[in-house]
Amino acid sequence: MAYLPTDIVACPDCDLLERIPPLPPGGTARCARCGRALAAGKPGSIDRTTALAAAALIVFLLANAEPLMELSAAGRETTTTILGGVREMWRQGERASSVLVALFAVAAPGLHIGFTLAVLLAARRPPAPRWVGDMLRWAEVYGLWSMVEVMMLGILVSLVKIASLAAVTPGAGLYAVGALVFLLAAMSASFDPREVWPRVRWRNGAGQPPSFPEAAGAAGGER
């Protein structure tokens, strides 16, 4: 099957064929027609993202182990962790919502971080095995459903709602969630799949850049 050199892309939003020029650090290539960001110059992306993902993993574990907040009223105290909320929803009969919260707040971010880290570590020694490509695709799916930042805002809103009823003390877990929001944003921003894909072994067992004898002619024909 004929394929084209990887510096030529079709814009995912408008399908225009464009050539990505070499980008300076911090530079972004945008689609000339619809403005979609096509590629960004992120030198050292693999190292930096590995460090951020490792930090995110540690903070993620902390965020899940420590209590988010403590509440005292009527001489009693209650406390909750992220999974404590999930358990309470389940106990009260809202099982579907409980499972969704567990997916969006725990499973998706955890798998997003774990898979990203695995992909980056495996990509350090190219050619990486084919499962790295599969994992990269799944990491993107989990990233889409990871809603740590939405949960953070949800916890803050519930804090305000509760503050009028009882005395609230924020716990270590809440600060960890706050840090996790920033680490996840930084991890996603510094990650560059365009740097990982060329290091993965091809599915068809053949073609490995940079030799494209057949495709170079095809690309010339399109321009």
Chain residues 147-176 in contact with other proteins, contact rule CB under 8 A? 147, 150-151, 153-158, 160-162, 164-166
Residue 185 binds other proteins (CB under 8 A): no
Residue in this structure with the two tokens 């993107």, named with its chain if needed: 140
Q: Smaller CB distance to other proteins: residue 85 or 178?
A: 85
**Residues in 52-111 that interact with other proteins by CB under 8 A:** 68-69, 71, 73-74, 76, 78-80, 84-89, 92-94, 96-98, 100-101, 104-105
**Residues in 188-217 that interact with other proteins by CB under 8 A:** 193-194, 197, 200, 202-204, 206-207
- Please list, residue by residue across 196-208, b when 16 or more beta carbons sit within 10 angstroms of its beta carbon and e when fewer do: bbebbeeeeeeee
Residue 38 near residue 29, CB atoms below 8 Å: yes
> Which residues are CB-contacts of 79 (< 8 A; sequence separation ≥ 6)?
67, 69, 70, 71, 171
Burial class (CB in 10 A: 0-12, 13-18, 19+), 163: exposed
**Residues in 115-154 that interact with other proteins by CB under 8 A:** 130, 133-134, 136-137, 144, 147, 150-151, 153-154
Identify the residue among 33, 43, 47, 65 touching other proteins (CB under 8 A): 33
